[in-house]
Amino acid sequence: MSQSLSNVLIHLIYSTKDREPLLVEQIRDELHRYKAAILKELHSPAVLINSVEDHVHILLALARTESVSHVVEQSKTGTSKWLKTKGNNLSQFYWQSGYAAFSVSQSNVDAVVKYIGNQREHHRRKTFQEEYRDFLARHQIPYDEKYAWD
């Protein structure tokens, strides 16, 4: 086969440092567009980006030449620098140092898109920490609670 093809869909989740509620509604749409532009440059286009005050969910199609860690690093670094220019309350903005990345099969894309799209409603019933622990358990990812939050 002379052509290399892939369709690797990734659901990324990461929060603001210490889960500070800094992603206010007034900047969220612009943040999502900025993040989408970074991902597009990395040839890993976003299918959907959504966030609430303290964390972000991204469904993306990972470029066959990119690593998840590089895409996350570029997305976080670029948006962190951008957010720091958006007001005094964001001048010290940081994302948490870690992230969670989950593979998504094509057959589950609609369900993941619906889930990401309904974050505001979802978090009326469940905290970010509860959601994160549920994802780690569902995907059988071992973790140490003392290092899960920063």
Residue 2 lies in a domain: no
- Give the three-state DSSP class for 34: helix
Beta-bridge mates of residue 11: 59, 102
Beta-bridge mates of residue 46: 60
Residue 36 lies in a domain: yes
The strand ranges marked E within the chain are 8-15, 46-52, 55-62, 100-104
In whole angstroms, what is the distance from residue 23 CA to residue 7 CA? Answer: 30
In whole angstroms, what is the distance from residue 46 CA to residue 37 CA? Answer: 9
CA torsion sign for 49, 79, 51, 96 is positive
Residue 83 lies in a domain: yes
**How many structural domains does the chain have?**
1
Residue 1 lies in a domain: no
Q: Give the model's pLDDT for residue 1.
A: 61
pTM of this structure: 0.92
In whole angstroms, what is the distance from residue 125 CA to residue 127 CA? Answer: 7
List the CATH number of the domain containing 60. Answer: 3.30.70.1290
Q: Domain range for residue 97?
A: 8-148
Residue 3 lies in a domain: no
Per-residue pLDDT of the chain (150 residues; tens, 9 = 90+): 678 889 999 999 999 999 999 999 999 999 999 999 999 999 999 999 999 999 999 999 999 999 999 999 999 999 999 999 998 899 999 999 999 999 999 999 999 999 999 998 888 898 888 888 898 898 898 888 877 776
Residue 127 lies in a domain: yes
Q: Give the model's pLDDT for residue 105.
A: 96
Residue 62 lies in a domain: yes
Q: Give the model's pLDDT for residue 53.
A: 95
Residue 38 lies in a domain: yes
